[in-house]
Amino acid sequence: MTTTPSAARPRLLLFLCVFSWAWAALTVWGGIQSAFTDGPVEALALARTQNENTMAQPGAPDVVVRMAESSVRMGELSLEHAMPLGLLGIVGGLLNAFGVYRMFTLRRSGFPIYLIGTFVELVVPMVFVYSAGLMAWGSLAVMALVAVVFAVLYASHLKLMH
């Protein structure tokens, strides 16, 4: 009796793939919003509105003020580089989706494609917003942690792939 690929696919791999496709779709959509709409303008206006009171408050803890300033600076840099950041999001999301598809079909060649897409999504945009400070680096740290966990979980399934 032969097994079908879906029967040989562990549930965790299925979960990882579905979750990764959803993330890739959100990343591509965010890239489109950044590159081709006025979303970055609205995001900057929102960051300024939300953080004005915090930055002007006397006696506010220094770290809170720095985070508020960093949030505004990240919005400014995201607006300034909206087109390249959006295009990077689209490319990274598409690479991830394709790499995940390859791993879903139990093809090992999807793993490096997935890693390249993750690099494009996480590391390359920092070239544009690295000077934004605490918020940019904090966001990168959280996203990098999640990316590392997913990469390790995908790597644990490589022995099942051909």
Smallest CA-to-CA distance from 51 within 29, 73, 32 is with 73
d(CA 64, CA 68): 6
Phi, psi of 93 (to 5 degrees): -65, -40
The pLDDT assigned to 1 comes to 45
**Who has greater pLDDT, 5 or 66?**
66
List alpha helices for the chain, DSSP H.
5-8, 11-36, 39-56, 62-80, 82-104, 110-122, 126-129, 134-155
Chain segment 59-102, per-residue pLDDT in tens: 878 888 888 888 888 889 999 999 999 999 999 999 999 999 99
| pLDDT at residue 3 tops 50 | no
Smallest CA-to-CA distance from 152 within 106, 114, 102, 105 is with 114
d(CA 158, CA 16): 13
Q: What is the pTM of this model?
A: 0.85
Q: What is the DSSP string of 98-132?
A: HHHHHHHTT-TTHHHHHHHHHHHHHTTTHHHHGGG
Using CA of residue 146, residue 147, residue 151, residue 154, what is the dihedral sign? positive
Lowest mean pLDDT among 35-44, 108-117, 126-135, 145-154: 126-135
The pLDDT assigned to 131 comes to 80
The pLDDT assigned to 135 comes to 76
Lowest mean pLDDT among 23-37, 100-114, 128-142: 128-142
Six-digit token pair at 36?
A: 């081709």
Residues recorded for the chain: 162
